[in-house]
Structure formats: structure tokens, C-alpha cells
Amino acid sequence: MMGLFSRKKETFACPVSGTLLNLENVPDEVFAKRMMGDGFAVDPTVGKIYAPVSGVIKAAFPTKHAIGIEAKDGTEILIHIGMDTVELNGEGFTSHIKEGQKIKQGDLLMEVDLDFIASQGKPVITPVIFTSGQSITVKKAGQSVEAMEEDIIEIH
């Protein structure tokens, strides 16, 4: 039987599979210039977005293009799926969450039809922003990462 002290501290996990990017490579100035906070982006290859941490859904936008999460430690994270995807009014997105819902790391939050979004002329690059002020060092920029992969960034 596992004791109470054998649980390891939860570390941040990548919410989506794809190519890891520095924020300055995001084709949107708000993200590229870190106006909402520091973070990283993923150019996704698979249209499934998973919970990078355990916590609570703080924002589930009706347009389904973005997800706000508050981690158990108070860290606030925004996952913004694609660029200008708010204009699609939820088309191409299947949400598995609602505001106020408790989530566990690894829960499927959103399914995204990447081909549909691209066909609408929208980049699918997905910024992940730490809106509570942390600074981020991207460890594997330009490399392929898998959903739920850990040790892709350092949080300061």
C-alpha cells in the first residue's frame, strides 16, 4: 500500500502534442510580446487538449477557443487554441469541461478539428500562458513534444 508521503509533487505537463515554440514565434503580437504573461506555444499535430495540471476550470469560453485553469497551487494558466479562433464561434471544437469544474492532470479538456480550423485560414498554434506572473524558460524549443510530456519548460 502506498503511504501518504510517496506521492510526488505534480509537475507541469504539456497539454497537447506538436512542435514546442517560444512565444516570440506566435503570429499574434499579444502573445509574442507577452502582454498577457509569459509562457510557450505548441503547433499541434493532434487535436486533443489535456489538463496540464490538476485544479479548477476558471474560464470555459462559450466560443471554446480558450481555457482558463487555476492549478492547486494558485498558478493561473490560459490555453488559447489557435489564432483568431474566437471568430469560429465554437465550430471545430468539442468541449469536455464547464466553468468551476475540478480537473485532474491528464483529463481531456477539448477536442479540436485542426484541419477545419486551418481550412478557415486560422493558424492552429496554441499559446499556453501563465497569467499569474511566472516567467518561463522553454527547454525544448523547435522539438516535437507529446501531450502529457513533462520537463518541457522551467517555471520561475
Q: Which of 65, 80, 96, 156 is catalytic?
A: 80
User: CA 113 to CA 92: how far, in whole Å?
Assistant: 5
- Look up residue 34 and give its three cell numbers: 507577452
96 among known catalytic residues: no
Q: How many CA atoms lie within 13 A of 99 on its CB side?
A: 7
Closest to 38 (Cα-Cα) out of 127, 132, 135? 135
Measure the CA–CA gap between 20 and 138, rounded to whole angstroms. Answer: 8
Bridge partners (DSSP) listed for residue 49:
110
Active site amino acids? 80
